[in-house]
Amino acid sequence: MAKKRTILVVDDDVSASQMVKMILEKSGLYEVSVCNRGSKALEMIREKHPELVLLDIMMPDADGADVANQIREDESLALTRVVFMTSLVSEKEVAKNSVIGGHPFISKPISGENLLKSVQGFFELEN
């Protein structure tokens, strides 16, 4: 059996992050951790070394863009991919394959089918 890909979900919305975790883990392809405090995200990324971080942009205790910049500036996290999750921009409002701050994004609300398709697509991009 292939090794599961590792993902960290960073979102202050506990129920939304647990839903994302459940959907991804149910596929059998991913091992998912959750962090519900943006201010603790960098610490958890250093601890868990996920291959992919699904990062909410707007959180009350930390800005997702700032967290993404900290990841990018840390040489030990150079292989960590960041994908934003946001309700600020819908997929209909932008062209396909768009990015925010150099990172791809998934629009909220996230359907299970779109989440799985998007995450798989992000991993396929690196191959």
The Cα 115–Cα 42 span in angstroms is 23
For the stretch 66-98, pLDDT in tens is 999 999 999 999 789 999 887 655 455 444 445
Domain segments of the chain as ranges:
5-125
Beta bridge partners of 99: 104
Please give the CATH topology (third level) of the domain spanning 5-125: Rossmann fold (3.40.50)
pTM reported for the whole predicted model: 0.85
Segment 24-56, tens digit of pLDDT: 999 999 999 999 998 999 999 999 999 999 999
Asked if residue 83 lies in contact with residue 106, where contact means CB atoms within 8 angstroms, the answer is: yes
